[in-house]
Structure 1
Amino acid sequence: MTRQPRDTDVIVVGGGNAGFSAAHAAAERGRRVALLERAPRDEAGGNSYYTAGATRFVHNGLGDLREFVEPDERHARTIVPPYSAEEFTADLTRVTGGRNDPRMTELLVSRSADTIRWLAGKGVRYRLMYERQAYERDGGYLFWGGLHVGNVDGGIGLIADHTRIAEHEGVDVRYGHRVTGLVTGNGAVTGVRFETADGATGELTTESVILTSGGFEANPPMRERHLGPGWAKAKVRGTPYNTGELIFAALDLGAARGGDWSSCHSVAWDAFAEHNESNRELTNRLTRQSYPLGIVVNAEGKRFIDEGADFRNYTYAKYGREILKQPGSVAYQIYDATLRPMLRTEEYDMPGISVVRADTLEDLAHGIDVDATAFVSTVKEFNDSIAREATFDPTVKDSRRANVVPPKSNWSWPIEKAPFYAYPVTCGITFTFGGLKGDDDARVLREDGSAIPGLFAAGEALGGLFSGNYPGGSGLIAGMVFGRLAGSVA
């Protein structure tokens, strides 16, 4: 029997970090690769484009990192603690409450260092993230939180680098190609159906399809169905094109669900800034992530989270959910004049930021339309409960606790020096944690554990690593590791 020629060897669906990682791995094996991206070129890059580019991986400290990060004169005055495989594994297990898949975690952690160096060797540029992960101290810099490296120019730079590399490799990148379905034959996935921006339709045949088309975070009805009531109100931080159709198409073929379909990555997000969804100019700058330094109150003037429970890297992806639960799905980050200079400048000094400034706490409450008596009482109770004998040090868990309900476990500083600042925040959804179930090669599995021939998944489309929360920077490295695995065998 004569085999019909295929249009290409590997089809990658989705042009974000995971998709390009898969394409690079397949191309270096000599495979013909077509990458189909739903968005037009000027809107492409998936959620990866909107990130700060922070990437978590195992390393041995600054000497190890200097082999591939961009040079910086500050390196000579910088301390970067090593980040071990044991720490990475423990962080994943701790922040997900032990609901992370152990085998996926092992693969991610053990391959993280080699994978990031593989991409750096191809021309993806990295640097130390001074503005996000270090505080200046005694004329030098100390990094904290296990997340030290990011992309030059953030997610925008990451996608630019990926695109340049793919074009050099001869990957056939097709923009404005929405994959509308999977083609099957003899129990295997043999191609895709697509529709172009001008309405033309067609099919491409292939040996393997790798789904890197994201989760369902930009699909309000699916959010309501799987995450719960109220989730339609969340602001979409990233691409509007991650609507989950191909996850559901794979489920229709008998694929098994992987991971936690009831939770997602969600953050504190500017509530009232103009154009605060899918903003390709400001991207990640609409997050408000200096909350561990101050306090957060709801529209009733009451605190509702432990702002200092852990380093920001380990709490920020779950606190968006807590804001969504508050009256009006809005809250206010509160700082005083002492704390204000310590806030991340790229987020709190961005153009068009929502902020209220006042010379008294009463006036601040009026400015954010919160009951002044309740608000001032909350601040006074917080101030009076701080263990002031403990040293305030944002580079470590300093145990400077405020014994209120809920407590603030670290970094408690009194809100007492005028002027005072309130930053209104809401819930910004990043990506959903539920996806497809995969094996060690990112092959999509059925409920009985068998693989669907010809079908792979990576990135947000592959579930299992995260539940309820995640350690910052784990999403990008997961896309790289599992994208590379898929592309290495597809």
Structure 2
Amino acid sequence: MPALPKSCDVLVVGGGNAGFSAALSAAESGARDVVIIDKCPEDWAGGNSYFTAGAMRTAHAGLEDLLPVVNNVDADLAGKIDLEPYTKEAFRADMDRVCLGRSDPALSKILIDESNSAVKWLAKHGVRYQLSFNRQAFLVDGRYKFWGGLALKTQDGGKGLIEDHRRAAERLGIKVFFSTAATALHKDANSGAITSVDVESNGARASIRSKAVILAAGGFEANPRMRSQYLGPGWDLAYVRGTPYNTGDCLELALRDVSAKQAGHWSGCHCTCWDANAPPDTGDRQVSNEFTKSGYPLGVMINSAGERFVDEGIDYRNYTYAIFGRQILAQPGGVAFQVWDSRTIPWLRPEEYRDEVVKKIQGDSIEELADNCVKNGLQNKAKFIETLKAYNKATHAHLKENPDQKWDPAVKDGVSTQSSTEQLALPKSNWALPIDKPPFLAVKVTGGVTFTFGGLAVNPQTTAVISATTQREIPGLFCVGEMLGGLFYGNYPGGSGLTSGAVFGRRAGLAAAKLALGSDVQARL
């Protein structure tokens, strides 16, 4: 490992997708000495990006637009794919709908407008993409039907994405230092510009002078104190989906040292349905994203009191998975049971529900399934059975009234629990098949925190951090990734987090390089 440099052109704090994107952009834009530091040890490289499925939401013109950047589609397969264009207007509608109309319009416009070019830019740097058949398409009537506005993923998910980033960084001469945490920011007393960053590297303290600093160190999702403080009571007990090193340190030091302005939804987060038997305080780098349990649209979710608590079919999974974890945590004991029968068990994705990954609760009757759920924390067996029987009665009534309506998991099929003769107080709006054909399966789930939405205010054009004192940019300080505030509120369109890291990382790297090169020009005059 080379010695930690005393100075550099651009210093990136954080080595996830956003940090690497910023570093690649800075290096290709002419910055000579680009350095990434990350407080995690090397065997935890990649931050939360490592734990993702690698999905990246992008506006596109349809299959032909995406084929040049994917490596898993030949001509024969291409002829069996239904993939409609996902326009900028559709992306905008999704952002406005799921983010409650509160997403910063300038930030979200840049995200949407540059999503396609950013993905293709990373592809030129060696990021390998594939069409996400396993997560975003169903094989219906011999054709792969993509749904929910999301089609692309990186090869081998987050693990592959970080491998590709690290190879690209090495090619461009970017130096990466692990076990190196930022501990303080310093600025010039007269200009207010960032001058250096104090670090602690493998137990030793040092300072790195830099012409530009890009903060990309993630949110506070792995910090129980901050979760309880900002997300609310009980959130200190939430499971952590990803890296244990995203503890909000850089958010706090930016507020403390340079009076950075806060922005975004500080009481909001991405919290998904998560295996209740997963490690509570950290993700598992081997199992990784496979602890996600996103098969709920195919069945129902019932809490430990025996009651349903969400409309599992209200929307495509892409627009509900980041909020349903929060709903689970609000239930008694913070757990729930996902339930299916033999009709839909074959549709569950193997990477999330195979025997090696998940503890399965099974039964040859609803009563036997309930008994076995009791052994795993169900508190009210009678209500569990009553809930399923009422659900089944409602689904049968709808199917009888609409005999020609076809169940189709790739579209909002309207197969529901609501008919003229039977209606549930809490409907299931789509994909509502009866659950009465044995064998039966249940999986116990909780909420897994992925990332927090609160962050720092930035100039959308450059990602320059804004001062809460002056309301102006802090010269030389930029912010990307989960630390960037104002983009997501309440929820987010699935796959847009990694895209945000690429889009704004690219902008930050360019702005930081221009600043560094401009300083060199002035010094030579």
TM above 0.5: yes
Contact 2:291/2:357, CA 8 A, preserved across alignment: no
Tell whether 2:463 aligns with 1:442: yes
Q: Which consecutive unaligned segments of at least 5 residues does structure 1 have?
A: none
Contact 1:290/1:343, CA 8 A, preserved across alignment: yes
| Alpha-carbon distance in structure 1 between the residues aligned to 2:428 and 2:143 | 28
Which of 383, 392, 403 matches 2:407? Answer: 392
Tell whether 2:251 aligns with 1:247: yes
Contact 1:188/1:454, CA 8 A, preserved across alignment: yes
Tell whether 2:355 aligns with 1:347: no
- Residues 268-307 of structure 1 deviation map (CA, whole Å, 9 limit, x = unaligned): 0000246783100011000000101100000011000000
Tell whether 2:180 aligns with 1:203: no
Contact 1:270/1:276, CA 8 A, preserved across alignment: no
1:42 counterpart SS class:
helix
Contact 1:298/1:304, CA 8 A, preserved across alignment: yes
AA in 2 matched with 1:446 = S
Aligned to 1:37: 38
| Alpha-carbon distance in structure 1 between the residues aligned to 2:128 and 2:148 | 22
Aligned to 1:314: 319
| Alpha-carbon distance in structure 1 between the residues aligned to 2:85 and 2:96 | 19
AA in 2 matched with 1:141 = Y
2:91 counterpart SS class:
helix
AA in 1 matched with 2:483 = A
Matches within 5 A, 1:378-457: 378-386=387-395, 387-388=398-399, 389=402, 390-402=405-417, 403-439=423-459, 440-447=461-468, 448-457=470-479
Tell whether 2:24 aligns with 1:15: no
Aligned to 2:115: 112
Percent of aligned pairs sharing the same letter: 48
Which of 188, 191, 194 matches 2:196? Answer: 191
Aligned to 1:152: 155
- Residues 20-47 of structure 1 deviation map (CA, whole Å, 9 limit, x = unaligned): 0000000012212010011111111000
Q: CA deviation at 1:384?
A: 1.1
AA in 2 matched with 1:385 = A
Tell whether 2:495 aligns with 1:473: yes
TM-aligned CA distance change 1:251 to 1:276, over 3 Å = closer
| Alpha-carbon distance in structure 1 between the residues aligned to 2:465 and 2:97 | 27
2:225 counterpart SS class:
helix
1:181 counterpart SS class:
strand
| Alpha-carbon distance in structure 2 between the residues aligned to 1:379 and 1:71 | 41
Contact 1:6/1:207, CA 8 A, preserved across alignment: no
AA in 2 matched with 1:348 = Y
Contact 1:358/1:419, CA 8 A, preserved across alignment: yes
| Alpha-carbon distance in structure 1 between the residues aligned to 2:196 and 2:59 | 37
Q: CA deviation at 1:218?
A: 0.4
Aligned to 1:161: 164
| Alpha-carbon distance in structure 2 between the residues aligned to 1:316 and 1:160 | 26
Q: TM-score, normalised by structure 1?
A: 0.97
| Alpha-carbon distance in structure 2 between the residues aligned to 1:449 and 1:127 | 42
Contact 1:14/1:213, CA 8 A, preserved across alignment: yes
Contact 1:47/1:239, CA 8 A, preserved across alignment: yes
- Residues 389-424 of structure 1 deviation map (CA, whole Å, 9 limit, x = unaligned): 232111110111113121111110100011111100
Tell whether 2:286 aligns with 1:257: no
Query: When the two structures are aligned, how many residues end up with a matched partner?
Result: 485
Q: Which region of structure 1 is more displaced relative to structure 2, 375-384 or 65-74?
A: 65-74
| Alpha-carbon distance in structure 1 between the residues aligned to 2:357 and 2:81 | 33
- The alignment's C-alpha RMSD in Å is 1.3
Aligned to 2:275: 270
Q: Which region of structure 1 is more displaced relative to structure 2, 28-37 or 298-307?
A: 28-37
Q: Which region of structure 1 is more displaced relative to structure 2, 158-167 or 29-38?
A: 29-38
AA in 2 matched with 1:329 = G
Q: Which consecutive unaligned segments of at least 5 residues does structure 2 have?
A: 418-422, 513-525
TM-aligned CA distance change 1:10 to 1:276, over 3 Å = closer
| Alpha-carbon distance in structure 2 between the residues aligned to 1:168 and 1:470 | 34
Which of 486, 489, 494 matches 1:464? Answer: 486
Aligned to 1:286: 291
Aligned to 2:126: 123
Q: Which region of structure 1 is more displaced relative to structure 2, 37-46 or 343-352?
A: 343-352
1:226 counterpart SS class:
helix
Q: CA deviation at 1:352?
A: 4.0
Aligned to 2:97: 94
Aligned to 2:51: 50
| Alpha-carbon distance in structure 2 between the residues aligned to 1:273 and 1:119 | 32
Contact 1:55/1:147, CA 8 A, preserved across alignment: yes
Contact 1:301/1:378, CA 8 A, preserved across alignment: yes
Aligned to 1:377: 386
1:67 counterpart SS class:
helix
| Alpha-carbon distance in structure 1 between the residues aligned to 2:279 and 2:466 | 43
AA in 2 matched with 1:52 = A
